[in-house]
Amino acid sequence: MNFLLDATPVARSRTHAAPRAVTHTLRVMTWNIYLGDDWPNIRRVLRDHPADVICLQEVPEEDHPWRIARPSRIVRELDMPFNFAPLWLRHPKRVGNMTLVRNGDVGPARLLRARGSEPYATWSRVRLGSLTVIIVNIHLAPLKGPMPFAFPLTEPTRMREAAHLNRLIRRCRHPVIAMGDFNTFRPAPGYRLAARGLIDCRRAVGGRHAGTRPTWGWPFVIDHILVTPHFRVSDYGVIVAPGSDHRPVTAAMELPL
């Protein structure tokens, strides 16, 4: 018996290996900059941690008299296509959400509003080459009043907003990334309603991560990055840096082309 004959088909099989799937790697960041009060540190973090898509919350309107991190100044620093939409009245002018895109285009911001609440997010169509992705920049209802009573008093509003958001995402035919300041945490009802059927980048990667809102004395995680199942999450991180009462959150993910 000549067992060497078995080696021939094995050697040939290597030439028929299935091709690797072509994917697009996308890196994102979300950060509530607290009206841009600490612009030098905000600028350093944004420059030192480049991302393809950046979602900022609590950005002051252009003519806000008190703060310096206005949309025009952020754009001069980053030189990226962007949209901006004011959401809330805070101090004499409004603050809102700003979405910036590197090496791509971003459409106009569509405001999302649940019944009985102020706008809670912007919905943007982003093009990165041949790829179309929906970016939802989130800022659910804030916690008003003394802690810890502020949370249960305002969570019903966030629940309405989260349920509205989740319905829109699940009906969308494009891949969706929803990220920002949710003001609610796992396993609270608002978080569960928002994350239903989606992938939480923090949980997908696992491991130990810093809290995203450290200023209450506990390591709260209220800033989240949620994605539709189109994506495979490869990285997640919380940047421990000054500049705001929130910490920047980043994630990397792959999307088949």
Q: What is the pLDDT of residues 17-47, one digit of tens each?
A: 555 667 889 999 999 999 888 999 999 999 9
pLDDT digits (tens, 9 = 90+) for 204-229: 999 889 999 987 777 789 999 999 99
- What's the whole-model pTM score? 0.89
CATH class of the domain at 22-256: alpha beta
- pLDDT for residue 148: 73
Confidence band of 79 (pLDDT split at 50, 70, 90)? very high
The answer to whether the peptide bond before residue 148 is cis (omega within 30 degrees of 0) is yes
pLDDT in tens, 149-191: 788 999 999 999 999 999 999 999 999 999 999 999 999 999 9
Q: What is the DSSP string of 27-96?
A: EEEEEE-GGGTTHHHHHHHHHHS--SEEEEEEEEPTT-SS-S--HHHHHHHH---EEEEEEEEETTEEEE
The pLDDT of residue 135 is 98
Q: For the chain, which residues make up each domain, given as ranges?
A: 22-256
